[in-house]
Chain A
Amino acid sequence: MTQIELRGIEKFFGAVQVIHNLNLAIADNEFIVLLGQSGCGKTTTLRAVAGLETIDKGDILIDGKPVQHLKAADRDIAMVFQSFSLYPHMTVFENVAFPLRATRMSSGEVDKSVREVARVLRITDLLDKRPSALSGGDMQRVAIGRALVRRPKAMLMDEPIGALDAKLREEMRAEIKRLHVKQGSTTIYVTHDQIEAMSLADRIVIMHEGFIQQVGTPDEVYSHPANLFVAQFVGSPVMNIAEARVADQAGAASVTVGEAPAGFEFPHQLLSKLNGHSSGGLTLGIRPEGVLVRHDAAPGYMPVEASIIEPLGSFDIVDLKVGSTMLRARTKAGYVSGPGERVHVRIDPEQAHFFDTASGKSLGVRL
């Protein structure tokens, strides 16, 4: 039962402010992922919660009690580091036992707890080995074991699988998910990998340059990005972004991008929903799967030329020249045969997002 609350956190490194007025409430048992590029302040935030970094302003509350003046050791939280940080001169057993021994637990109890955790993490065979003899995945299991063994109030993970290769990363991702479901503890997880964030998080906190951009479930941040940054950061392949003009055309809305001769057809209610934003400073965002492509002409479809095709196995990403801009569409593998082919394209109004160009904020318009 642990709730963590961050209230008005500010942090400076010298004259540089790395965290700006950060507020976040984390519920018991919640798996929170801090997502952002390197240097966005996510790791600093995590280290501040851990007690490895001081904060210049604000409160960190664990179960309602302010802890910002407590040392890391007195906050009763465990942390898994990106570099694993296993003690190289100790066996796996001693590594996992370290936090228990540090608090003078009797050796019988230590033995019992370590073996229990080793069983859960399937590292029982490794207990006598030294970290240098382990593979990356096993090292990470041991590091997680060391964090789990003391049943901490909360688990903090700093890019725990960032140093592993792609295949192992996928495996460990599933394993961390399984553990969280099974053990259940309030977790803050830092990563720059949006796929990791989407697959693990109960809620994702997207950070950029020290500011929180959006907090929401994976579905919310994917389907309702709060601003252009989130829209482009979450989702792969990246969302198409284009300056757009909206016009009223014979009972329907027409959305023109890249000075194209014709616009895409949208339902008429777009005009009223945009509420004056239709003239200038409007940006259209559409994910590649919302750009619909077909070979033959059909009402509402615009003829365009394919320019680059990236085959990605199960699907292709096709760059389509629309006026002076490019729209990337996701098609079935091999659907567009090659560059230069003429195809017909439409934008699915239900998947379109509209942003204010100047502020980058979403206008919240959904059709």
Chain B
Amino acid sequence: MASVALTNLDPASRAAARGWSDLTIRNLFIIPTLVFLIVFNIFPLIYSLGYSFTNFAANRAEPWQFVGLQNYRELLSDDHIWSNFVITAKYVIVSVAGQMVVGFGLALLLNRSFPMKGLITTLLLLPMMMSAAVVGLFWQLLYSPSWGPINYVFGLGDFAWLSNPDSALYAVAITDIWMWSPFVMLLSLAGLSAVPQHLYEAAAIDRAGWWYTFTRITLPLVSPILLIALIFRTMEAFKTFDIAYTMTTQPTAELIAIRLYKQAFQQWDTGKSCALAYIVLIMVLAITNLYVKYLNKVKER
């Protein structure tokens, strides 16, 4: 069927006069993108997989050696790395959970008609559109112990959000929640407005209260799109680098991406860093896979 449609080129067109087929035109559009992806994405990916089995260091000229699984072995038995993973896990859970709750809550509030709804929605989306490094820098100022507005507003004296080892990670997570809740809000709004109004009317007639309607109608019907938001945010949170890197130097807030950066570009341990990057990739893939399986199950209903 598709191949039949592909040959339907208007015989009067200039392309046909040049002797091009529909297939030629399709290739003209697709091949540059494919080449770009292969050169800049797929090739480095495979090349770095090769590096991960060597002791290659990008800043040294001496020849590198094949070391087999040694990099992986060392990394997986390194307590320091494991503590980075634990920190990352805490960060992902706190920040993604926060974004889901705040984002979905905002969407519930916005899912009705009120004056200036469009303007307010747009304003709420602004944090998401800023550069993460800039957001990090600004929040560093907001958190400032001596003259930051956050301590002033909440009356916290000179509480040092970012240099206190116990709070640094959560301070970064709060910033991330501020920045990315709008994303969850946007997806949730799409999900909520796709729930037909007549179902709410039917529920009202059926004497369902607010909470019953919310848990039995609203939540099940928006859950597929909420799961998609969850997948995106988990993946992103897992690889958070810029916000955390610009905000704090606390070891208790050293996410796996920061660890990876230090190993690759401060210690110049390129081979080992490639191995670590692959470990992170496999973990993200595994988590995403779980979500996707669950998503498919939800969608089947």
Contacts and interface: CB of A to CB of B under 8 A. Distances in A.
Nearest to B221: A89
Do most interface residues of chain B lie in helix, strand or loop, or is the interface mixed? Answer: helix
Q: Chain A, interface size: which category?
A: 20 to 34
Interface string A59-94: 000000000000111101111010101011100000
Contacts of B293: none
B205 A89 contact: no
B208 A73 contact: yes
Interface string B188-213: 00000000101101111111110010
Interface in A88-140: 88-89, 98-99, 102-103, 130
A73 B208 CA distance: 7
A83 B217 CA distance: 17
B60 interface: no
A328 interface: no
A99 B206 CA distance: 5
A104 to B, nearest CB: 9
A146 B301 CA distance: 20
Contact of B220 (A78, A81, A89, A146): A89
Interface string A261-295: 00000000000000000000000000000000000
Contact of A85 (B198, B207, B212, B216): B198
B201 A99 contact: no
A51 interface: yes
Interface string B287-301: 000000000000001
Nearest to B202: A85
Nearest to A94: B216
B299 to A, nearest CB: 10
A85 B205 CA distance: 11
A46 to B, nearest CB: 11
Contact of A81 (B202, B208, B209, B212): B202
B205 A102 contact: no
B191 to A, nearest CB: 13
A99 B198 contact: no
A87 B215 CA distance: 13
A52 B205 contact: yes
12 contacts: A50-B205, A52-B205, A73-B205, A73-B206, A81-B198, A81-B201, A83-B198, A85-B202, A87-B217, A98-B206, A99-B206, A146-B206
Interface of B: 196, 198-199, 201-209, 212, 216-217, 220-221, 301
